[in-house]
């Protein structure tokens, strides 16, 4: 009997990508738009004496929370506007949506049952689908790095290539951690709303703990609990790679392992 | 011969709620085995345990000689499964989705997807999310049959299908059986079980209340009957019908110069028809017995204590 081509590698990963490449293009356009809008303004905002006067007139707590105390350097400006703010928000929203949909969303829609009834192992399902998210986040992080690289000279940001790459790697780690928490929660409980809540909660809490920790030395210990601080506390755009950001990847990996173990044990479609 | 499906004392609890109270089921190779029961009787739960979508609380399960809990994907490649609550979403076309499932559970013979789709009248080029319920059900049937599995597990397979497609489905089931495959299907419509299945189990509130042949179950089912005669034939017919042991709730109404007699018939269709024929009826309707009445008729009045 002649048979059609079967068992090409990574069928579930390819399926996620085939189903969601349109969405990824949307996120890419959004990210590119934000970066292309903010970074060229550095010379008129970040280095502008009048703008500095405005910042000095702001409450110091607010300036610390937004990390605007570094805004006079190209690295500080890029961090304060893109990696630490709008880019962070975009990547977080994408990661929350993707992470909560691959298991919990699929289970709630009722479509997960049929996939699992086919020749699929549950470990394989979690790893391939999370792998697809990782690829999509990598695409966004790569796009961000290329955009910053392209605008580095025209906008006089004076960033090093290592700093640009490190900034993207930090944001990628943050996105992976957020998506992994959503995946893990979905694997445990199968409810999309809870998965979204947990993933978004970790991202928001991380931002809040970092902002609080910036306020005064007595609160600095909060930084240790903040994924946002793990990503940006060592100022990767200015200083390049640092071991701290490795924590993001380590915690994300642990969350994926927990997701696999939980999902292997759980009833689906109940 | 080793049974294709064997469960012993299969029990499933969700917290304090018990969905399956010790199911013992043996299905031999090459048989079409139907399970009927009202919604919530445990049909879907039983099937999901066979596919390792949910896990039994206790009891033994063997499918094609293996324990689904530990056998892994290779076992499920030998099974074709149609979920009872079939959900298909996404932008992918029916063909794209079927190719995806073929990659997971294949190999699938060249042209097999197209051939099955043509038999069922399914347009493969449309996005699945835009398909009607009936057409989604066809996609579900194609993915269950396409890799020619040794075992077909079909939960409410004809749900949403129009009568012509139902007939085609029944033909596909017979072909699978003739090719030595085993079919395990569920329904709450007795006619479907009667046409498709060799053996039948009646499931109620998580227990198997009877394993029987289709003929015996059907004979015990109650069906509504209605016969229309001329007014002058009324009294004689009522007297003859009143003498039938399995005919109950007799009543009649008159309109437009005819008399219509209604009743509920259990066993004894032949005696009923003979009694009616003498009166030269103008019209005669014997309705399909539904499962609800079959089960109620078989086991006496049973309350709604069903759970999933």
**Residue A250 near chain B (CB below 8 Å):** no
- By C-alpha distance, the chain A residue nearest B104 is A119
* Predicted local distance difference test score (pLDDT) of residue B162: 92
Q: For A187-236, what is each residue's pLDDT tens digit?
A: 999 999 999 999 999 999 999 999 999 888 899 999 999 999 999 999 99
Tell me which residues of chain A have a pLDDT lower than 70.
Answer: 1-7, 46-47
Angstrom CA distances, B187 to B24, B25, B114, B125, B203, stand at 19, 17, 27, 30, 11
* Predicted local distance difference test score (pLDDT) of residue A47: 66
The H or E element that residue B237 is part of is helix B234-242
- Give the C-alpha separation, B89 to A105, whole Å: 12
Q: Which among B77, B87, B104 is the nearest to A110, CB-wise?
A: B87
Q: Which among A7, A12, A115 is the nearest to B106, CB-wise?
A: A7
Residues of B in contact with A8 (CB under 8 A): 103
Query: How many H-runs (helices) and E-runs (strands) does chain B carry?
Result: 12, 13
Residues of A in contact with B87 (CB under 8 A): 109-111, 113-114
B258-265 sheet: strands from edge to edge = B247-255, B258-265, B223-229, B283-286
Q: Which among A22, A117, A265 is the nearest to B81, CB-wise?
A: A117
Specify the residue for token string 């970074």.
Answer: A39
**Residue A267 near chain B (CB below 8 Å):** yes
Strand B199-204 vs strand B258-265: parallel, antiparallel, or unpaired? unpaired
DSSP one-letter code for B287: P
**Residue A115 near chain B (CB below 8 Å):** yes
Angstrom CA distances, A46 to A40, A159, A168, B77, stand at 10, 14, 21, 61
- Give the C-alpha separation, B182 to A131, whole Å: 37
In 3D, which of A117, A101, A28 has the Cα closest to residue B151? A117
- By C-alpha distance, the chain B residue nearest A113 is B53
Q: Helix, strand or coil for residue B174?
A: helix
Q: What is the pLDDT along chain B (308 residues), one digit of tens a residue?
A: 789 999 999 999 998 899 999 999 999 999 999 998 888 889 999 999 999 999 999 999 999 999 999 999 999 999 999 999 899 988 899 999 999 999 999 899 999 999 999 999 999 999 999 999 999 999 999 999 999 999 999 999 999 999 999 999 999 999 999 999 999 999 877 777 878 888 889 888 899 888 877 777 767 777 889 999 999 988 899 999 888 888 888 899 988 889 999 998 887 888 899 999 988 899 999 887 765 566 555 554 444 444 33
- Give the C-alpha separation, B173 to A40, whole Å: 67
Q: Which among B53, B88, B92 is the nearest to A116, CB-wise?
A: B53
Q: Which of A25, A117, A121, A126 to mutate to test the interface with B (most CBs of B within 10 A)?
A: A117
**Residue A223 near chain B (CB below 8 Å):** no
Residues of B in contact with A267 (CB under 8 A): 53-55
- Is the separation of the CB atoms in A80 and A157 below 8 Å? no
Token pair listed for B136: 């989604």
Scan residues 92-111 of A and list those with Cβ closer than 8 Å to B: 109-111
Angstrom CA distances, B80 to B114, B139, B141, stand at 17, 13, 9
Minimal Cα–Cα distance from A266 to chain B, Å? 7
Residues of A in contact with B127 (CB under 8 A): none
* Predicted local distance difference test score (pLDDT) of residue B304: 43
* Predicted local distance difference test score (pLDDT) of residue A260: 98
* Predicted local distance difference test score (pLDDT) of residue A51: 77
- Is the separation of the CB atoms in B97 and A111 below 8 Å? no
Angstrom CA distances, B141 to A38, A102, B98, B133, B168, stand at 53, 25, 11, 12, 11
**Nearest 5 degrees, angle CA B112-CA B116-CA B117?**
115
- Is the separation of the CB atoms in B24 and B11 below 8 Å? no
Cβ of A114 within 8 Å of Cβ of B91? The answer is no
**Residue A121 near chain B (CB below 8 Å):** yes
Cβ of A7 within 8 Å of Cβ of B103? The answer is yes
């Amino acid at each position: 009997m002649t048979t059609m081509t079967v068992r090409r590698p990574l069928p579930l990963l390819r399926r996620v990508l085939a189903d969601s490449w349109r969405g990824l293009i949307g996120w890419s356009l959004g990210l590119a738009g934000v970066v292309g809008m903010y970074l060229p303004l550095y010379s008129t905002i970040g280095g502008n004496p009048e703008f500095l006067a405005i910042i000095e007139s702001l409450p110091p707590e607010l300036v610390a929370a937004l990390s605007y105390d570094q805004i006079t350097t190209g690295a500080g400006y890029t961090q304060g506007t893109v990696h630490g703010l709008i880019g962070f928000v975009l990547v977080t929203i994408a990661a929350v949506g993707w992470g909560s949909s691959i298991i919990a969303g699929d289970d709630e829609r009722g479509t997960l049952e049929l996939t699992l009834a086919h020749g699929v192992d549950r470990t394989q399902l979690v790893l391939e689908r999370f792998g697809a998210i990782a690829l999509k986040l990598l695409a966004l992080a790569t796009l961000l790095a290329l955009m910053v690289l392209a605008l580095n000279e025209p906008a006089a940001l004076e960033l090093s290539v290592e700093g640009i790459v490190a900034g993207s790697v930090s944001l990628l780690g943050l996105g992976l951690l957020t998506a992994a928490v959503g995946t893990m929660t979905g694997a445990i409980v199968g409810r999309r709303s809870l998965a979204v809540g947990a993933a978004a909660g970790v991202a928001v809490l991380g931002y809040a703990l970092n902002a609080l920790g910036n306020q005064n030395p007595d609160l600095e210990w909060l930084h240790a609990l903040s994924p946002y601080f793990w990503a940006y506390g060592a100022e990767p755009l200015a200083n390049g790679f640092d071991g701290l950001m490795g924590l993001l990847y380590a915690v994300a990996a642990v969350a994926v392992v927990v997701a696999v173990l939980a999902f292997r044990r759980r009833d689906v479609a109940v | 011969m080793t049974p294709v499906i064997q469960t012993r004392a299969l029990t499933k609890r969700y917290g304090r709620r018990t969905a399956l109270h010790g199911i013992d089921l043996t299905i031999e190779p090459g048989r079409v085995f139907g399970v009927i029961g009202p919604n919530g009787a445990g049909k879907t739960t039983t099937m999901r345990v066979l596919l390792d979508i949910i896990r039994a609380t206790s009891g033994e399960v063997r499918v094609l000689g293996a324990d689904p809990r530990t056998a892994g994907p290779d076992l499920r490649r030998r099974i074709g499964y149609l979920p009872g609550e079939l959900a298909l979403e996404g932008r992918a076309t029916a063909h794209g989705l079927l190719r995806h499932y073929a990659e997971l559970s294949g190999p699938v013979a060249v042209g097999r997807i197209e051939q099955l789709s043509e038999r069922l009248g399914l347009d493969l080029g449309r996005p699945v999310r835009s398909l009607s319920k009936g057409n989604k059900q066809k996609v579900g049937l194609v993915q269950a049959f396409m890799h020619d599995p040794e075992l077909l597990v079909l939960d409410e397979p004809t749900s949403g299908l129009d009568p012509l497609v139902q007939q085609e489905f029944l033909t596909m089931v017979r072909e699978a059986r003739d090719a030595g495959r085993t079919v395990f299907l569920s329904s709450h419509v007795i006619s479907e079980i009667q046409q498709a299945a060799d053996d039948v189990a009646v499931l109620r509130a998580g227990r198997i209340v009877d394993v029987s042949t289709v003929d015996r179950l059907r004979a015990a089912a109650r069906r509504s009957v209605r016969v229309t005669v001329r007014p002058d034939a009324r009294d004689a017919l009522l007297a003859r019908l009143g003498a039938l042991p399995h005919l109950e709730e007799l009543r009649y109404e008159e309109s437009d110069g005819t008399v219509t007699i209604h009743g509920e018939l259990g066993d004894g269709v032949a005696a009923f028809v003979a009694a009616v024929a003498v009166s030269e009826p103008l019209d005669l309707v014997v309705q399909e017995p539904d499962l609800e009445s079959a089960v109620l008729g078989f086991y006496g009045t049973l309350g709604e204590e069903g759970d999933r």
